[in-house]
Structure 1
Amino acid sequence: MTKQWEYLLQNLGEWQGSFTRYSPQGKVLEDIQSVVSLAGLNNNQTIHQIVRRQGQEDLILEYSSVARSTLFFENGAFSQGSMQLAPFSEFGAELGLIHENRRLRLVELFDKNGKIASLTLIREHLAGTEAVENPPLQVDDLLGEWQGEAVTIYPDWRASTSYSTTLKLQLDSTGKLIQNTNFGERSITSTGTIQDAIILFDQNSQKQVQVLLLPNGASATFPLQAQLRQPLFLEVGWLITPTLRQRLIRNYDDKGAWISLTLITENRIHSHS
């Protein structure tokens, strides 16, 4: 548990950026300048956090422990959100990645009927450092073969698990996206239909998973409808350089309980030709 606090401290500093809210179809609903500062008090035993968003009242928080609904990785990447998908209650999570002087965070929210309602992309850099913005993500940026290392951590704090991953993305003759994923021993192939910045994967008529390509090399993955009694996952991806990508995945089981958080760091070993 003390390690979780140490990992949280990777996020100390003043983060300047913006909160951009999108519809599930990728339309910008709102774009607000922001400054989020996290300062350590009493020898970093307590954190004082101020969230300033243009035109809104400051949000001031102080805490000295990590909430049960939140988990951190060693590099400071984290996720906080619903512990449980339940009928007639709002559901969602924040997924945060960190690389050198930059953070990329994504909030995915569902309404009381389990329909995806809105997405907020938060792009930040440390005050006093250069604000580097990657180009908006395109399907072409992802084609090819990626090799990665995954670390999975658990809300019950049992030991983490690590394994290697591969991801192959290619277009078939009809322009559909074929995705082959290998997680350790497990292998999954899925087919997606591309429409502008949206990739729609149909597991079956009940279960549509959408990937939305966003600015700054980001991608958001979510079910269009969070179904009770079916496992689901929420994911943020970040193409940091043309050959380096991070993904963070928050997994729920078929009872709707949050069961794990996985961070994948992957390198492109072959681009499509």
Structure 2
Amino acid sequence: MASQWDNFLCNLGEWRGTFTGIDRDARELESTDSILSLEQGAEERLVHFRLCRYAAGDRGGTPIRDNRQDYRSLGRQVVFFNSGSFCKGTLQVAPGTVFGGEFGFIDGDRRHRLVQLHQDDGRFDQLVLIREWRSGTDQPECPPLHLQQLMGRWDGEAQRITADWPEPETLVASLELSPQSGGVQWRSQLGSDTLEGSLEGGLDASGNNTQAVRTARMPDPQRFILLLDGGYHLSPEQVSHRGAFAVEAGWLSGPNRLERLIRRFDASGAWLDSTQVVLQRL
């Protein structure tokens, strides 16, 4: 079985992309262009990281930010899966401390990353959507996600890594979305765990969604946001160190391939586990 480090190396290369802020109402904020490189160093366990950010449309100019770092190991705050997809972020929710996380999807020469930010009182603030292509490739961006694209039954497999055991557990997984009165029913299964909920607001006469932001009840109210490049985000409006919760991002990288990344926290606000779910439409 591949190690966390080997999984990390799936992301080697130069990636050209765009960072776009997304506010609470799914409106686009400022965008900047980017070039991110992960280069194998002279030592076996050495990777050089460099991220240059540019004013929009000026990737060939002088970067407005230039961050560099060398990696020789990976901390507990990040988990990599066999495909190279990863998620990372806060390990413990604490009062007066900003809560955040990142979901990183990779499929061939595309990466779709999403950064989640909450204010220091735990209230959801905004997202940063990062769309990336491996340099020298021209794979098209995925269309903006519509709820109709998720409808139906999806089946596949999940890999779960817990905070106290880095070897992944393999689980049978499924997801089913179906119309119901005034909304959409959501039924997710991971191994023996089943979660049933709903998304408020239905589909219009053409079968398309009319809202980019919806209330999800899982069973407690959460915020469900449809995004550009085939993505979505699911998170509580408020996170706390006094209650268990989960945060999730999804990426429809192809018409019949859906990937989900889920981070769960226990009743004390401590990170519990991270799960990658890869599903195919039946």
Instruction: Give the TM bin, normalised by the shorter chain.
Output: over 0.9
Q: For 1:159 and 1:101, locate their aligned partners in 2 and report how far apart those are by CA, in whole Å.
A: 26
Q: Report the CA distance between 1:158 and its aligned residue.
A: 4.3
Q: What is the root-mean-square deviation of aligned Cα atoms in Å?
A: 1.6
Matched, 1:116 2:119: no
Please point out which of 143, 148, 172 is paired with 2:151: 143
Please point out which of 227, 230, 254 is paired with 1:217: 230
Query: 1:144·1:169 contact (CA, 8 Å) conserved in 2?
Result: yes
Classify 1:13/1:116 alpha carbon distance in 2 versus 1 (closer, same or farther; 3 Å): same
Q: For 1:118 and 1:173, locate their aligned partners in 2 and report how far apart those are by CA, in whole Å.
A: 30
Q: Report the CA distance between 1:148 and its aligned residue.
A: 1.7
* Percent identical residues: 33
Please point out which of 107, 114, 131 is paired with 1:106: 114
The one-letter code sitting in structure 2 at the alignment partner of 1:186 is: D
Count matched residues: 266
**5 Å matches for 1:25-174?**
25-55=25-55, 56-174=64-182
Structure 2: which 5+ residue stretches go unaligned?
56-63, 202-209
User: Counterpart in 2 of 1:254?
Assistant: 267
Query: 1:179·1:191 contact (CA, 8 Å) conserved in 2?
Result: yes
User: Counterpart in 2 of 1:192?
Assistant: 199
The secondary structure found in structure 1 opposite 2:249 is strand
Query: 1:69·1:155 contact (CA, 8 Å) conserved in 2?
Result: no
The one-letter code sitting in structure 2 at the alignment partner of 1:191 is: S
Matched, 1:230 2:243: yes
Larger mean CA deviation between 228-237 and 18-27 belongs to: 228-237
Q: For 1:29 and 1:44, locate their aligned partners in 2 and report how far apart those are by CA, in whole Å.
A: 40
User: Counterpart in 1 of 2:13?
Assistant: 13
Query: 1:221·1:236 contact (CA, 8 Å) conserved in 2?
Result: yes
Q: Report the CA distance between 1:111 and its aligned residue.
A: 0.5
Classify 1:30/1:160 alpha carbon distance in 2 versus 1 (closer, same or farther; 3 Å): same
Classify 1:2/1:159 alpha carbon distance in 2 versus 1 (closer, same or farther; 3 Å): closer
The one-letter code sitting in structure 2 at the alignment partner of 1:106 is: L
The one-letter code sitting in structure 2 at the alignment partner of 1:86 is: A
Which digits, 9 at most, give the CA deviation of each residue in 1:203-253, with x for residues without a partner?
Answer: 56xx42111110111111111111332111121101011111111111111
Query: TM-score, normalised on structure 2?
Result: 0.90
Which digits, 9 at most, give the CA deviation of each residue in 1:178-200, with x for residues without a partner?
Answer: 11122222222112113611221
Q: Report the CA distance between 1:2 and its aligned residue.
A: 8.3
Structure 1: which 5+ residue stretches go unaligned?
none
